[in-house]
């Protein structure tokens, strides 16, 4: 497989469920990201990992818990979510983590469409 793959593509869960989203990148990149995309809103950065170390937690509620066991895999653990958490969750990776010395291009996965009932 190539690029960034996300599973599952679609997930429906109740507010009391626990589920996880998985992301895997096959690009040899060192940084991975979780973004949330809701209707009529811009992409919101949730978490950033660089070389498996979390470098950004963008004021995300604790009901979202990321995990990065290695530079190729990223998880988003979900528990006691709210209906307003229904959205498209996008994983992305970049060659290096963005620093003040420049920027890096993001490659996105296809996304996981989450519906919370």
Partner 1 sequence: QKEVEQNSGPLSVPEGAIASLNCTYSDRGSQSFFWYRQYSGKSPELIMFIYSNGDKEDGRFTAQLNKASQYVSLLIRDSQPSDSATYLCAVNIDGGNTGFQKLVFGTGTRLLVSP
Say whether 4 sits in a helix, a strand or coil.
strand
Residues 6+ away with beta carbon under 8 Å from 61: none
As measured in angstroms, the least distance from the Cβ of 66 to partner 1 is 16
As measured in angstroms, the least distance from the Cβ of 49 to partner 1 is 13
**93 DSSP β-pair partners:** 32, 107
Of 42 and 69, the one with the shorter C-beta distance to partner 1 is: 42
As measured in angstroms, the least distance from the Cβ of 24 to partner 1 is 15
Binding residues (CB under 8 A) for partner 1: these are: 40-43, 45, 48, 55-56, 90, 97-100, 102-103, 105-111
| 86 φ/ψ angles, rounded to the nearest 5 degrees | -60, 125
Q: Are 1 and 88 a contacting pair, CB within 8 Å?
A: no
Of 67 and 96, the one with the shorter C-beta distance to partner 1 is: 96
Q: Are 68 and 75 a contacting pair, CB within 8 Å?
A: yes
Of 18 and 26, the one with the shorter C-beta distance to partner 1 is: 26
Of 79 and 113, the one with the shorter C-beta distance to partner 1 is: 113
């Amino acid at each position: 497989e190539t690029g960034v793959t996300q599973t599952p593509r679609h997930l429906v869960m109740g507010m009391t469920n626990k589920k996880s989203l998985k992301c895997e990148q096959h690009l040899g990149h060192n940084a991975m990201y979780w973004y949330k995309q809701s209707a009529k809103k811009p992409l919101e950065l949730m978490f950033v990992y660089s070389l498996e170390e979390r470098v950004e937690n963008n004021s995300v509620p604790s009901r979202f818990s990321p995990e990065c066991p290695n530079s190729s895999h990223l998880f988003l653990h979900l528990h006691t979510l709210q209906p307003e958490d229904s959205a498209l969750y996008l994983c992305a990776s970049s060659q290096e983590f963005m620093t003040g010395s420049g920027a890096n291009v993001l490659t996105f996965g296809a996304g996981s469409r989450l519906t919370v009932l």
